[in-house]
Chains A and B, each alone.
Chain A
Amino acid sequence: MWFPILFLIVGVILGLLTNITIPDQYSNYLSIAVLAALDTLFGGLRAQLENTYSHRIFLSGFFFNVSLAAFLAFLGVQLGIDLYLAAIFAFGVRLFQNLAIIRRLLLDKYANRRKKSTTF
């Protein structure tokens, strides 16, 4: 359990140390990357709770989503249309859905545990 949190701290420190400057026109890609990462995280958590977790689906989903979002953003820049908004929208909706499902699952689990304890 501490392993991921340690890596989160390492990632934050890396981000602070590298001091990368991103040109303004690529800030869209950055926002999409953040959203894709968050989406993957919550998707993974949900799958774990539903006991349908799979390494392959998790990793392939992460990379595929990120590359599709990046491609959309690139296309949008080329066409002069804010197509990256579609990716943001999709990721956002998925984030909320996943969160809702996680919340429901956790609540169900909590309720089940209480029921079990009362039966004893």
Chain B
Amino acid sequence: MRGRQVVYAFVFLLIGFLLTVSIQHANRSGELIQLNESNVEQDLYYRDQLIDVQEKNKQLRSELVELQENVQNLEQEIANDTDELKDLVNRKNTLQKFTGELPIEGEGIQITLSDTTYDMSEEDHANQYVVHDRHIHLLINELFSAGAKAIAINGQRIYHDSHITCIGPVISVEGNVYPAPFVISAIGDQNTLDTSIQMRNGVIEYLVQDNIDVKLDLSSNIMMREKDSL
């Protein structure tokens, strides 16, 4: 009877132990499932967030494309503006060169007028052999109408308001006095200038008839300084 009870006790001990263990195990696997559920919920939450972020990204990307287009347009505009500005600056420089605010340089011709070395006879007046202001006026006017860009007498530039006068044997250009010979340089198209002053019955012929020595040089590079006082 005692031995039987011991065996039963052993079996009961085992059953109790196993039952509690399996119950605990079942509870734990239940927890595991619950954990999984919460995981799924979290997963869903994160996925939603991801979708949101992706949508936002898409929106931002389209915005970026739009902004880039804007930037491109602006750049184009700026480039156009700079082109225009460049044109304007070029034009201003050209005009400044014309008005003498900047030095000018270019091909052109040089005409040297000197008093004749011809032996004068007693009865002739010296005036007949001297270069007068009217000769120079004539020549300069002719050069200007032939399209000269800039003209200088003995290195002094002539402007629209310059005055040239004859003072005895010398010539005054804006108060500066120059003796003969007079070197008149003109910047412009060499061919046009050359042909226009050498025309038949033109300026050169007239000057030669007035007993003036005329020397004509084609110069590939004439340089004129800017006005001293602006």
Contact = CB atoms under 8 A, between A and B. Distances in A.
Nearest to A66: B14
B18 A58 contact: no
Contacts of A34: 15, 18-19, 22
B18 A37 contact: yes
B22 A4 contact: no
A86 interface: no
Contact of B13 (A10, A22, A48): A10
Contacts of A14: 13, 16-17, 20
A11 B7 contact: no
B10 A7 contact: yes
Q: Size band of the B side of the interface?
A: 20 to 34
B15 A11 contact: yes
| Interface SS of chain B | helix
Chain A interface main SS type = helix
Interface stretch (B24-32, B96-104, B116-124, B191-199): B24-32
A11 B13 CA distance: 4
A3 interface: yes
Interface residues on A, range: 35 or more
Contact of B7 (A19, A21, A44): A44
Contacts of B17: 11-12, 14-15
Interface in B1-60: 3-22, 24-25, 28-29
Contact of B21 (A5, A8, A30): A30
Contact of B15 (A27, A31, A41, A55): A41
Those 5 A-B pairs whose CB atoms lie nearest each other, nearest first: A11-B16, A15-B20, A7-B9, A11-B13, A8-B12
